[in-house]
Amino acid sequence: MTKIQVYNTMTQRKEEFVPREPGKMSVYVCGVTPYSDTHLGHARPSVIWDVIKRFFRMMGYETYHVQNFTDVDDKIIQRSFDEDVPALEISKRYIAEYLASMDALGVERADLYPKVSEHMDEIIGLVEKLVETDHAYSANGDVFFSVASFPEYGKLSKQKLEELRQGTRFEVDPAKRDAVDFALWKSAKPGEPAWESPWGEGRPGWHIECSAMSLKYLGEAFDFHGGGNDLIFPHHENEIAQSEAATGCALARYWVHNGMLNLKDAKMSKSIGNVISVKELTKRYPKELLRFYLLSTHYRSALEFYDGKLEEVSKGWTRLNDAYRALQDDLKHAVAGDSSLDRETLEVLEKLEADLVSALADDFNTAMAFGVLFELVREINGYKHRQGRSEDVLKKASDILQRFAGDIFGVLQETQVQDDSLAESLLDLLLGLRQELRKQKNFALSDQIRDQLADLGVTIEDTPQGPRWKV
């Protein structure tokens, strides 16, 4: 079996993936705070993990994916005040909007979407355990994690405790023993949602929520913990401290962080307001093109977005789709073949197939994999130009494109006109008529048919194997 290499943020190097359970892959991904429309920055990690799961399944693994909704949060509460609507109704509205946006992008749903509001017992139980073991302390209805009680604090982000203390510029809560301690439980404030606890009414801090839910559904030392690289500190660093202080075990085996999606050199962020909603984009562009764009850069790198960016990347996306559709048409006219050209091309295709697996096994390098797919397109176009028509060769190329560009990446657009048998028959009839006119040297009428079809969005291509059309 091909070895899968994963860049682990914890060790800052690529490591061979060794699952906690043979043949299984488990992942916890930090989900959205549902207080506004889902934007393209949210879509990036969702599409990335969608592809990673599909690849693991192709490699024979079972996958289990948990992704939370942070439905108890300051921003949700503020929006509930602004709209005079209960906070949980706000979150319910935008959870539905997020799921609809991911469906529109062809993202396979997670196996489980736990919500903070539904896991108060687990959260309170974890906080109690940390207090009992002197990793946390209560003060005036709040509970804080004692960072000094966890000597390994900073191991993910490579932050040094003394530097963090010196770098504290905000006003420190006088109830804290140390400026770097963070809240596990917050005492209730007027008008905010609150739950009963041993420390009085209140609500959980941000970090403890993910610890409680990941431990409940995935247990200790699950395979992957994912999220944007903006979560490395403080969120994931604090998750590690409180989880490992409570269990004595590693929280996750591999920490995988994607780069940010930047709009005009600034991180796309709802708090800044420079967002582009998935809902609006999917009205204007095919989901397959949006996925192609999101996967065109390695997941750990920043991804730039600006006006005209999708039009730029659509050239490559269109080329892949055109190649796949042309293969479907070529297969209708394929013949049995076993020439030296056929055998040579099959060997090249088999190598390219192996290169695709290698690219994805090398830290899920979708950008490299797209490069291999374009090599495949060049190879098969050259083969057909040299009069190659072997069914085995054409089917092999089609299958590779379908498996990787279609099944794993989700960037092959479903055919539309080609799926309508009547439209297909009529277009084939027009092509036959146009060919007859060309034989009769009636080029004016032949060109008129071509131009009027072009006005309808149908392009005619004259190839060595004869004319064909595409939408």
Query: How far is residue 42's CA from residue 94's CA, in Å, rounded to a whole number?
Result: 13
Q: Is residue 165 part of a domain?
A: yes
Looking at residue 419, its pLDDT comes to 47
Q: Is residue 176 part of a domain?
A: yes
Q: Is residue 1 part of a domain?
A: no
Same-domain status, 316 and 400: yes
Same-domain status, 30 and 115: yes
Same-domain status, 148 and 55: yes
Looking at residue 465, its pLDDT comes to 60
Residues 6+ apart with CB under 8 A from 212: 119, 122, 123, 125, 126, 204
Residues 6+ apart with CB under 8 A from 184: 127, 130, 136, 143, 144, 145, 204, 205, 207, 208, 242
Q: pLDDT tens digits, residue range 308-364?
A: 999 999 999 999 999 999 999 999 999 998 899 999 999 999 999 999 999 999 999
At 410, give phi and psi (nearest 5°): 70, 35
Residues 6+ apart with CB under 8 A from 221: 20, 249, 250, 251, 252, 253
Cβ count within 10 A of residue 441? 8
Same-domain status, 25 and 163: yes
* Over residues 203-221, mean pLDDT: 97
DSSP 272-318: TT---BHHHHHHHS-HHHHHHHHHSS-TTS-EEE-TTHHHHHHHHHH
Same-domain status, 62 and 145: yes
Confidence of residue 156 (pLDDT cuts 50, 70, 90): very high
Candidates 458, 366, 362; CA nearest to 411 is: 366
Confidence of residue 293 (pLDDT cuts 50, 70, 90): very high
The token pair at 219 is: 């247990």
Q: Which residues pair with 143 in a beta bridge?
A: 138, 185
Q: Is residue 200 part of a domain?
A: yes
| 304, 339, 360 - which closes a domain | 304
Burial class (CB within 10 angstroms; exposed 0-12, middle 13-18, buried 19+) of 28: buried
Confidence of residue 418 (pLDDT cuts 50, 70, 90): very low
- Range of 358's domain? 312-408
| 287, 304, 321 - which closes a domain | 304
Query: How far is residue 93's CA from residue 224's CA, in Å, rounded to a whole number?
Result: 29
What is residue 183's three-state secondary structure?
Answer: strand
Q: Is residue 124 part of a domain?
A: yes
Same-domain status, 68 and 192: yes
| 304, 337, 359 - which closes a domain | 304
Same-domain status, 263 and 352: no
For β-strands 5-8 and 13-16, DSSP reports them as: antiparallel
Same-domain status, 342 and 452: no
What one-letter code names the amino acid at 277? S
Confidence of residue 269 (pLDDT cuts 50, 70, 90): low
Polymer length of the chain? 471
Confidence of residue 289 (pLDDT cuts 50, 70, 90): very high
Same-domain status, 267 and 357: no
**pLDDT tops 60 at residue 417:** no
| Alpha-carbon distances, residue 428 vs 22, 43, 463 (angstroms) | 52, 40, 15
Q: Which residues of 182-220 are buried (b: 16+ CB within 10 A; e: fewer)?
A: bbbbbbbeeebbbbebebeebbbbbbbbbbbbbbbbbeb
Q: What is the CATH number of the domain that holds 128?
A: 3.40.50.620
Q: Is residue 2 part of a domain?
A: no
**pLDDT tops 70 at residue 268:** no
Q: pLDDT tens digits, residue range 53-88?
A: 999 999 999 999 999 999 999 999 999 999 999 999
**Number of structural domains the chain divides into:** 3
Same-domain status, 389 and 274: no
Same-domain status, 424 and 402: no
Backbone angle region of 103, left / alpha / beta, with phi > 0 → left and psi within -120 to 50 → alpha: alpha
Mean of all residue pLDDT scores within the chain: 93
Looking at residue 270, its pLDDT comes to 55
Please report where in the chains the tokens 């080029």 appear, as a residue.
Answer: 443
Q: What is the CATH number of the domain that holds 355?
A: 1.20.120
Confidence of residue 420 (pLDDT cuts 50, 70, 90): low
Q: Is residue 76 part of a domain?
A: yes
Same-domain status, 364 and 436: no
Q: Is residue 427 part of a domain?
A: yes
